[in-house]
Structures are given as C-alpha cells and as structure tokens.
Amino acid sequence: MKRTRVTVTCADCSMESTHEKLSDARVVLDDHESTTDHDVTWEIEALAAGVTRAGADAGVCGRPECANADSPLVDPPRPDTSKGRDER
C-alpha cells in the first residue's frame, strides 16, 4: 500500500501544511496564493506503508536489512545454509 503526502510550503511566510490528497493541497495552495500573493510551492511524496516508522527507527533508509547497519557485530554474516540445495 502506498500513501501520498503533499506538503505545501510558502516561501514568503511560515505557512506550511500537509495533506494526503493532492486536491486538498491544491486548494490550500491556490487559496494562500490568491489571498496573500505569496510564492507557494508543494512537495509530493509517495510513502510506502510502514516506511516512515521504520525509517525513523533505523535512521537510515527504512529497510529492515539496514536496521543494524551501525552495529555489524550484533548480526554477523551467516553461512548461507538455507540455500544450500539451490544449486544451478
């Protein structure tokens, strides 16, 4: 599952808002621009479910393999016994 997050930010004031729908973000963007004549931009991110939390925990890239990247001694490389029969 993926979610979309749209962050609307204004270059001319501290206005900032986050939306899950592009249409909502566009309304805010247009409204702020038309009422204040500020320079408003948006940033669209596609988020895979769980990546945000995992990324925060790991502080790296959110992939489980990276979770212990800073402590390799905790999880040393294992002999690849699980694939011993997968000969080609």
Site residues (vs Zn ion, CB under 5 A): 10, 12-13, 15, 36, 38
Based on CB atoms, which residue is closest to Zn ion, 10 or 25? 10
Based on CB atoms, which residue is closest to Zn ion, 6 or 10? 10
CB of 23 to Zn ion, least distance (A): 20
44's enclosing H/E stretch is: strand 40-48
Residue 24 makes CB contacts below 8 A (sequence gap 6+) with 6
| Number of other residues whose CB lies within 10 A of the CB of residue 58 | 17
Based on CB atoms, which residue is closest to Zn ion, 10 or 62? 10
CB of 31 to Zn ion, least distance (A): 11
| Number of other residues whose CB lies within 10 A of the CB of residue 12 | 12
CB of 40 to Zn ion, least distance (A): 6
Encoded tokens for 13: 């004031």
